[in-house]
Amino acid sequence: MYLKHNIVGWFEIPVLDMDRTVRFYETVFEIKLDRRQLGPLEMAWFPWVEGGMGSSGSLVRSEFHKPSDEGVRIYFTAFSGDVAVEAGRVAAAGGEVLMPRTQISEDIGYMAMVRDTEGNRICLHSRT
């Protein structure tokens, strides 16, 4: 079977304190999130590139979203090219580095695992 798109189309990261969590992700990734109120959902969308690889997603605060470090793990691309750079911003942004830069394999590259300000476990990835 040939796929025309990546299988993941969107992701949502549960949030309790939107201001604190937005500051964390904007600081670690040096990006600007787009905050929206959609009915009962308070959201902050990650930037996306039309036609780019991968998918985008959002921080979400609602009665249906509960932060956890036991669920799905999302891998964010380290645009600096080295996960150690983004991981180096985590503590100052209020998070915790759980696993520093670690090689996955020569073909796949490197990862680091961190916990955000809400208790969600996420990963960073880079080829070098």
Quick: pLDDT tens for 46-104: 998 887 777 889 999 999 999 999 988 999 999 999 999 999 999 999 999 999 999 99
Residue 2 lies in a domain: no
Residue 3 lies in a domain: no
Residue 61 lies in a domain: yes
Residue 62 lies in a domain: yes
Residue 5 lies in a domain: no
Domain that holds residue 105: 10-126
The domain that holds 44 is classified in CATH as: 3.10.180.10
Please indicate whether residue 50 or residue 33 has the higher confidence score (pLDDT).
Answer: 33
Quick: pLDDT tens for 5-28: 667 778 999 999 999 999 999 999
The structural domain count of the chain equals 1
Residue 105 lies in a domain: yes
Terminal Cα distance for the chain, rounded: 31
Q: What pTM was estimated for this model as a whole?
A: 0.89
